[in-house]
Amino acid sequence: MVITGYMRIYLKCQRCFSSSSVSLPWISPLQYLKPTRPKPDPPPQTSTLLQEPQRKPKFISHESATNMIKREKDPQRALEIFNMVSLQRGFNHNHSTYSVILHKLAQSKKFKAVDAILRQMTFETCKFHEGLFLNLMAHYSKCSLHEKTIEMFYAIQPIVREKPSLKAVSTCLNLLVESDRMDLARKLLSDSKKSLNLKPNTCIFNILVKHHCRKGDLNSAFEVVKVMKKAEISYPNLITYSTLMGGLCDNGRLKEAIELFEDMVSKDKILPDTLTYNVLINGFCRGGKVDRARKIMDFMRKNGCQPNIFNYSALMNGYCKEGRLQEAKDIFNEMRNSGLDVDAVGYTTLINCCCRAGRVDEAIELLKEMKEKECKADVVTFNVILGGLCREGRFEEALGMLEKLPYEGVYLNKASYRIVLNFLCREKEMDRASYLLGLMLGRGFLPHFATSNELLVGLCESGKVAEATVALSELGEMGFKPEPSSWTRLVESICRERKLVKVYELLDELIIARR
C-alpha cells in the first residue's frame, strides 16, 4: 500500500511536470510528503508519567566549585558544597578547592573542621602548594593559637611533599615573633637548621633585628647584624639598616642613627630610599629637632631622592607639635608645588595642625578644598575636625556633622560619636549628651563603659532623673551593666523624687544584671 501510494504521487508529479511549460526541479516523494503533513499538537499532560525526564545535572568544575564556596557566607553551607561536588563521578578535589574551603573555615574559626580537612588531604594524590599553610598560619596566629601556627609549618612537608621554603620559615617566624612567642621561634629556627638544613637568609635575620629593636635591646640587634655579615645569603640590606636606625631614633640616639646612615652609604654602598629617610625625619621630629629633620629632607632631594607624601606629612606633624603652623603650611604648599597629588593623608595632617592651633575654620576650608579637588576625606579627617570643634565648644556644629554626614555617604565609626560624647560629658552638656546617646544607639554604636557611667551620674547630678532612667534602659538593651556606684547615684536620685516604684524596678534590674 505504501509503495502504491508513492507511485501514485510520483505519476501525478510527472503529469504536472510534463504539462507545465516551465521546468521545475525534481522533488523526491519523501521530501514532498514531509511538509504536507503538519505535526498535530501534543496532547495535554494528564499524568506525571507522561512528563519528559529531567535533564541530567550539569557537571560542576573545579573553577565553579571554588567560586561557589567563595560566595557562600555560611561556612557550614560552604562545607556542604565542598562535600557535594566530590560526589560527582570523576571529580577529585584539587589545591584550589581545598585552599578556598580551608580559608573559609579558618576565617570563621571552625578549626575542628580545618583539622578534618587536613587529615583528608594526606590521602590525596594531587599537588598542593605551601601558600595554603601560610594562610592557615596567619589565621591561627590572629586567634592566639600559636602552637597551631607552628603545627601548620610542620604539616607542610608531609602534605606538600616538599621541604618548607625560606618564605615559609620567615612567615611562621614573623608571626611568632610578633606574638612574642620567642620560645616557639627559637624551636622553629633550631628545627629548620637541623632537620631541614635551611640556612637563614636576610629576611629571617631582619625579623630578629626588628624584634630586638622593638624591645629596646639594641645591643642584641647589632649582634644579629654581625652574624648576618658572615654569610652572603644573609648580608644586611636596606631594611636591616632602616630597622636599626628606627630603633636608635626611638631611643633618642639620633647621632648614632645618622652615623649608621653614613656607614650604610659609604661602607656597604647601599643607597637609601624614601622609607629610610622617613625613619630619620620621623625620629628627629619626635625628638624635638624638626629643623634637623628639614635639613634631612633637603639632603635627600639634593641626592636625587624626591620626597613623597609621607615624608612631607612627617615634617608637617613635627612643625605641628611645636606649634609652628605657618611652617607646616609652607611644607604643605611645597608638597603641592612639587607636582605630588596631595591625598587625604596630606590634607588630614594639615587639618590636624589647624585644629590643634585652634583654627578650626581654616580646617573646614581645607575640607571644602578637598571636596572641590575630588580628594575624598576619610573618617580620620572628620574625626579630627569633630575634635577641633569640641575643643572650641562648638557642640551644635559637631552634632550637626554627626547627624548629616551618614546621609551624604560618609562612613563614621564609633570613635566619631565617642569623641563628641566624651566632650559633652566633660563639659556637663547633659541635654546634648542625652540626645547624642539616642543617636548613637539608634545607629548601633555603644559608648565607652566609663563614658556611659559618667553620663548616668551626670544626668542624675543635673536633676535629669527621667533621662537617666531612659538612658539606663537603652544602654541595658545593648548589654551594658553599670558600675555599682552609678546604680547607687541613680537610686538615690529617684528616692529624692519619692518615686519608690521606680526604685523597686531598678533594684529588680540590678539583681538580674548581677546574676
Residue with cell 555617604: 409
Instruction: Specify the pTM.
Output: 0.71
Cell of residue 171, nine digits:
612567615
Is 503 part of a structural domain of the chain?
yes
Is 140 part of a structural domain of the chain?
no
Is 467 part of a structural domain of the chain?
yes
Q: What is the spatial distance between Cα 340 and Cα 338, in angstroms, rounded to a whole number? A: 6
Is 161 part of a structural domain of the chain?
no
340 close to 308: Cβ distance less than 8 angstroms? yes
Q: Alpha carbon 360 to chain centroid distance? A: 31
Instruction: Please give the residue range of the domain that contains residue 452.
Output: 448-515
Residue scoring higher pLDDT (473 or 58) = 58
Instruction: Give the residue among 129, 80, 86 at the shortest CA–CA distance from 105.
Output: 80
Residue scoring higher pLDDT (200 or 466) = 200
SS3 203: helix
pLDDT range class, residue 59, cuts 50, 70, 90: confident
Is 452 part of a structural domain of the chain?
yes
Query: What confidence score (pLDDT) does residue 380 get?
Result: 93
Q: What is the spatial distance between Cα 336 and Cα 316, in angstroms, rounded to a whole number? A: 13
Is 497 part of a structural domain of the chain?
yes
465 close to 500: Cβ distance less than 8 angstroms? no
Instruction: Give the residue among 320, 262, 310 at the shortest CA–CA distance from 290.
Output: 320
For residue range 21-48, what is the model confidence (pLDDT) as tens digits?
A: 344 343 333 343 444 445 555 545 544 4
Is 105 part of a structural domain of the chain?
no
pLDDT range class, residue 489, cuts 50, 70, 90: low
Is 499 part of a structural domain of the chain?
yes
Domain count, the chain: 1
- Write the Ramachandran bin of 144: left for phi over 0, alpha for psi from -120 to 50, otherwise beta: left
